[in-house]
Structure 1
Amino acid sequence: MLITIIGGGNGAFAAVADLTEASHEVRWWRRGGDHGLHAITVQDYAGTRQVPARATDDLGAALAGAQLILVPLPATAQEDVARALAPHLAAGQTVVAMPGSLGSVVMAKAARAARPQLPAGLRFAETGSLPWITRKAAEDTITITTRGTLMTLGTSDGEATDEVADLLREAFPGVTIDARRDALDAALTNGNPVLHTPLVLMNAGVIAAGGPFEPHGEGTQGPIRAVQDALDAERIAIRETLGYAAPHYPLADFYGPGVWFYDRLGQDLPQVAPQPHERIDFVSHRYVAEDIVIGLALLVSLAHDYGIEAPLARGFLAQASAILGRDLRDVPDLPPVSSLAVM
């Protein structure tokens, strides 16, 4: 399959490397082109190796003929990316935000605003997770510690989900694709706002002090796990109120024996383990800029609109608003759950 990868971050590097090794024809668009990079160094359970890869900054050339366009970028970039993609998109192509946070709806709207007559059969979709736990170890090196075994999927208008699911199954044959009712259904399976919000905000003092600190290690202790599960119960209550069916993929399954998106944590861990400490700032780090400012705000907005009690989500959003000095409740109006179509 001809697959185009958009971006130059952790997910894009992992996507280019894995899909190239899976013998797909991969094109890669990255701002600034190849940056002198002609191969990606991959570190995982199989050791260290180089995978041929060369990015282009010619978006039209990168998209021409692609069946599947993967956008493994933070949700903060989705609107700008959609506007840039719009002039080059062709009939029958599928654009997938990984993960979405309702990004497929945002991207579809932005693309239509940039190009009111979009090609026929163009589809925007999103997954509830990124199929890798991965970090760039250097400008040319990606460390993959875990590959996902399951992804939820929804489309911006709730249509053609099975067709998009088949494309993803071809691209990722080792991953179970759970086709959900629509984009919001998939977005509300994203556990990152529930996972990362307590880790960041309940450890804010230690993080701000700037010393070595691993939020997924010493930052994930019993009291924080209890709060995560309570916050997750609010997420699930929102899903149930909106009529979305199980499985809801409770976060407890991430830490326990249940089926979650990464059910074999660390199975791809390199022989030389990567440095676990990751510096978190309260402005640009994706745990804040994406998972709180966008993901948690989505939960709070839905709870408000549908009269659902969500005291922890509201409280955390108020706390984050105080830290960032702006009201994070001021989010754009969401489309009605019963009418997500934007195409």
Structure 2
Amino acid sequence: MAIITIIGAGNGAHALAADCKLGGAEVRMYEFTRFNNKVKGIVNSRRIRFEGIEKNHENFKRNGTIVLDMVTYDMKEAVQGANHILVSVQAQGFESIFEELAPLLEDGQTVSIFPDNYGSLILRRIMKEKGLKTDVIIAGYCSLVYGARLTDFNNMETETDVVNVMYRENEIRVDTLPSSDYATYLEATKEIPALDATELIQGDTVLDIGLSNVNVLLHVPAVVLNTGTIENWGIIPNVGSKDAIYDIYAHGVSPAVGRVQYAFYLEQVAIAKAFGVGIMPVEEDVLQSRMGLIGQMMFGEDFRLPFTEPLDQSTWLPAPKGARFPLDSRYITEDVPVGCSGAMSFAELLQVETPIIRAMTDLSNLMLETNYYETGYNLKDFGLENMTPADVIGYMRTGK
């Protein structure tokens, strides 16, 4: 039986933990803060209910209530002796979490980051700075395996957290850092139950994986171009409802927004092409349909929902009644300083023009009164400062 450690306790982390336990692994969950955390209700019971329609091509389904083997605030306790470490946290936490994690890693372990968000580069950089030569395999994924939401947590009466899974991805793009570790990693993934029904597609370096992250492509234009509606939703007459949460897929996508998303994607393609690496293929007409890439993930390659038809929210990710979609959500506060800034840092190395990505960043800075050019990720954060483009790709492919 494999021992799997989950780093994090949000939507994705809960889904990964419950899924792996339902699949027969020994599972530990580590929450990195005792304050404002999402495991207060299950520290003693360790109980999670995994539910939802879990849409996927193979009609694969895992529902049920599990008891984790460990829920802890002690990272050393969580990591020691584990076979596989699955990281599912917001990317802004990578630095502090990997600073603590790196010295605790043991030879033979794998570290999988969902989604990677260039985290594999950051973890390798920290290991190098600390002089650590631990023989571990580090893999980055372009997204999470599921569409998942915590619908109940920190409930001190039931002591049971509930995670709802709307869909399970049929295939997912992944690569290791370096890519030369991939064959060994692929064999090791047979011990990770969360991947039982998802085909792994090897990307062409972790740059490919970072540029293929669907979150930044879908989220940023759909939020930036709908800020008025988001801020007025349920507040002024005839704009939304207090009883229904604003949802970018149901309310924020349109033919014009889809055109901006596709222009954004073409700039990502230009960066990948300049470096000579791959990127996840996206067809223009997919972004001219209401569910976009999410629809393909749920219903197959040929699925298109016309913009003339509404999204059936009865099968969509649930949200608590009265909840609001905040402008300063991770759809901006994570996707812009990570996805946009990360892409632009690579683009600048080869002087690739990115006017759409830059416009989205400029507008986000104005809207949130911040400066993601200063706080966002760059080549120095990735340990690639002063490297030539050829050196960057050589390092990603071979580790040298």
- 1:67 maps to 2:83: yes
Q: Report if the CA contact (8 A) 2:103-2:132 is conserved.
A: no
Going from structure 1 to structure 2, the CA distance change for 1:22 and 1:74 (only over 3 Å counts) comes to: same
Partner of 2:306 in structure 1? none
Partner of 1:281 in structure 2? 326
Q: For the residues of structure 2 that align with 1:23 and 1:271, how far apart are their CA atoms?
A: 28
Correspondent of 1:186 among 197, 206, 209? 209
Correspondent of 1:241 among 274, 298, 323? 274
Instruction: Kindly state the Cα deviation for residue 248 of structure 1 after the two structures are TM-superposed.
Output: 3.0
Instruction: Kindly state the Cα deviation for residue 307 of structure 1 after the two structures are TM-superposed.
Output: 1.9
Going from structure 1 to structure 2, the CA distance change for 1:185 and 1:272 (only over 3 Å counts) comes to: closer
Other structure's SS at 2:9 match: coil
The root-mean-square deviation of aligned C-alpha atoms, in Å, is 3.0
Deviations 1:88-108 (A, max 9, x none): 210121111110111111122
Q: What stretches of structure 1 of length at least 5 have no aligned partner?
A: none
Q: For the residues of structure 1 that align with 2:288 and 2:49, how far apart are their CA atoms?
A: 30
- 1:9 maps to 2:10: yes
Structural mapping, 1:87-106, within 5 Å: 87-106=103-122
Amino acid at match of 1:157: P
Q: For the residues of structure 1 that align with 2:211 and 2:187, how far apart are their CA atoms?
A: 22
**% identical aligned pairs:** 25
- 1:135 maps to 2:144: no
Q: For the residues of structure 2 that align with 1:254 and 1:163, how far apart are their CA atoms?
A: 35
Going from structure 1 to structure 2, the CA distance change for 1:246 and 1:77 (only over 3 Å counts) comes to: closer
Number of residue pairs matched by the alignment: 339
Structural mapping, 1:1-343, within 5 Å: 1-31=2-32, 32=34, 35-37=40-42, 38=45, 39-45=47-53, 49-53=64-68, 54-113=70-129, 115-119=130-134, 121-139=135-153, 140-171=161-192, 172-211=195-234, 212-245=245-278, 247-250=280-283, 253=286, 263-265=296-298, 274-275=318-319, 279-283=324-328, 285-330=329-374, 331-333=377-379, 335=384, 336=389, 337-340=392-395
Partner of 2:56 in structure 1? none
Going from structure 1 to structure 2, the CA distance change for 1:214 and 1:282 (only over 3 Å counts) comes to: closer
Instruction: Kindly state the Cα deviation for residue 270 of structure 1 after the two structures are TM-superposed.
Output: 8.4
Deviations 1:110-154 (A, max 9, x none): 2443x42342x1222210110010111110111110111112112
Deviations 1:268-326 (A, max 9, x none): x988972388633343x211121112101122222222122221111111111222333
Greater C-alpha radius of gyration: 2
Could you tell which deviates more after superposition, 190-199 or 38-47? 38-47
Going from structure 1 to structure 2, the CA distance change for 1:93 and 1:310 (only over 3 Å counts) comes to: same
Q: Report if the CA contact (8 A) 1:165-1:179 is conserved.
A: no
Could you tell which deviates more after superposition, 46-55 or 314-323? 46-55
Amino acid at match of 1:227: V
Instruction: Kindly state the Cα deviation for residue 329 of structure 1 after the two structures are TM-superposed.
Output: 2.4
Q: For the residues of structure 1 that align with 2:299 and 2:152, how far apart are their CA atoms?
A: 20
Instruction: Kindly state the Cα deviation for residue 262 of structure 1 after the two structures are TM-superposed.
Output: 7.0
